[in-house]
């Protein structure tokens, strides 16, 4: 299973003709990111998760770490920072939906939160 562990993978360059993940791929990948929900906004599926913090500065520190990971992966989320809470949403803008990159980035976001 280690070969399939999302946190060990890196995001690939996503082109406009890259395939969306299939329903079966979602079923296979989702158990690795159980806290994330799949939402749809303007007919575009996205992964979204909220993270709790004891202070605004703890949330800000988490945002900085996620931003650094996003830069390394060259894949960037929507991040909303509030007092005690950070919401992160991943989707692939070019293909208007979910790509395996989004699951990789979500798993790495969870890893950052857990560390």
Domain harbouring 90, CATH code: 3.30.1360.20
pLDDT, tens only, 8-61: 898 888 888 899 999 999 999 999 999 999 999 999 999 999 999 999 999 999
- Which residue range(s) make up the domain with 95? 20-114
Number of other residues whose CB lies within 10 A of the CB of residue 106: 26
CB 65 within 8 A of CB 77: no
Under the banding of pLDDT at 50, 70 and 90, the label for residue 72 is: very high
Angle 14-17-21 from CA coordinates, rounded to 5°: 70
**Domain count within the chain:** 1
Q: Is residue 5 part of a domain?
A: no
Q: pTM for the full model?
A: 0.93
Q: Is residue 106 part of a domain?
A: yes
Q: Is residue 11 part of a domain?
A: no
Number of other residues whose CB lies within 10 A of the CB of residue 1: 5
What are the residues facing 52 on neighbouring strands? 85
Q: Is residue 6 part of a domain?
A: no
Q: Is residue 3 part of a domain?
A: no
């Amino acid at each position: 299973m280690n070969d399939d562990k999302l946190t060990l993978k890196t995001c690939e360059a996503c082109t406009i003709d890259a395939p969306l993940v299939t329903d079966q791929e979602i079923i296979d990948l989702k158990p690795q990111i159980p806290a994330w929900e799949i939402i749809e906004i303007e007919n575009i599926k996205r992964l979204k998760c909220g993270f709790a913090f004891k202070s605004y500065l703890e949330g800000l520190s988490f945002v900085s770490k996620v931003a650094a990971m996003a830069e390394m992966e060259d894949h960037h989320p929507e991040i909303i920072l509030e007092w005690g809470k950070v919401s992160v949403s991943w989707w692939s803008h070019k293909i208007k939906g979910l790509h395996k990159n989004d699951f990789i980035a979500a798993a790495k976001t969870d890893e950052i939160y857990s560390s």
